[in-house]
A and B are shown apart, each in its own frame.
Chain A
Amino acid sequence: MPIYIDISNCIGCRTCEAACQIEHEGNGRLNVHYVEDLAAVPIFCHQCEAACCATICSPRALQKDGEMMIFDEEKCTGCGLCAFACPFGVVWVDRIAHKCDLCRDREGGPACVAACPAQALFDDFDEAMRRARSRTALALATPGGVR
């Protein structure tokens, strides 16, 4: 259950970044990037199926468990290999690794999803599918494509 992003809704307010930092005591695990003046894109951990960060982790602090990534702080040595093995650059290392854990200990799902004022983030697969379908339908129905 990763976090899905609808970029066309994102207003670039960075509320998700702030919510993540508050939830994780100053160690945010996501970053909002701006592509020229076209769009704002929050960059998240993809919760990869064959996760590179888990492959490289020699003390097995990062492990894939079902759909989720489990991070064991006790085992982490802070070598920093996982940060450089992540294709999307969403692992930060500062003494120990900081990586999105989908706010496991928080009631009511991830903090960024709850905080997003524009409904650009959601963790519901059906919602993601619904939006993708409506986007495709709109593109088909609009002559000359969607702006």
Chain B
Amino acid sequence: MAEDNGSTNGTFLGADRLTAPVTLQEGDVLRMGAHFLRYERRSRRDAERQKAIDKDLQKASKYVFSLLPTPLTEGAVLAEWKFVPSTDLGGDAFGYYWLDQDTFVFYLLDVSGHGAGSAMHSVSALNVLRQRALPGVDFKNPAEVLASLNERFQMETHGGLFFTMWYGVYRLGDRTLTYGSAGHHPSYLVPTGKATSAPLGMPAMMIGAMPGMEYDTQTVTVPAGSAVYVFSDGVFEVVTMTQERWSLDNFLPMLLEPSVAGSSESERLYDGVKKATGPGPLEDDFSLMVLTFP
């Protein structure tokens, strides 16, 4: 039984504000301000088992976070990010590193679905990239990397999962960015001043969907002070408090909004999305990297 004892902002069951005591059904969700409570009944044994599973998931989540790169706050490329899985374990992963003194590599991948299976798949792919374990592949060539991953991670031999990916290679010497994409929406190059955003992407098949795929690359010059925003679709495929379903077009104007003092760009954008969606978890993983090129 649930009853609101005269709270100012009310207690909601679904879209309905409680005006009288109600009998809860298994799975009902009560909302009080920013807090959500799900009603579940379990035996003590089931509850203990669930507690153990939750603990394991938390450990797994910590492991995933441990694989993500530390922010870069100085040097020829600055990098920071925000990662908020929609469940304990997400299907997104990303990374960046200096391949050599002149070459900076950064990438983001998004496995179809989320949860433990997708997280395991994303960690497998992430570890291959972190360890550069693609024999004979030039990691300065996005097309080679994507094609090699595609052969290695075919969905038939990986639980029916595929992933989208964006992979970029920045050359410090001539300030060029060469990039490739596999079924992923564009990343965006935003010059200093934030007057415009240029999409960096091309149509291409997801990794694992079909063997023998070839991938294209494109190259742009990166003006001094520009930033590149790389993100998963969970950043913009959200439902707002007014039940509006966003697409990429709804999110893009936020990239050009002014920075907020005391807040990183990724934090500012996450806050902006959360302001639109309201309390509660997002539907999909939120992964967003911001690379700045001084």
Q: Decide whether A and B are members of one complex.
A: no
- Residues of A whose CB lies within 8 Å of any CB of B are none
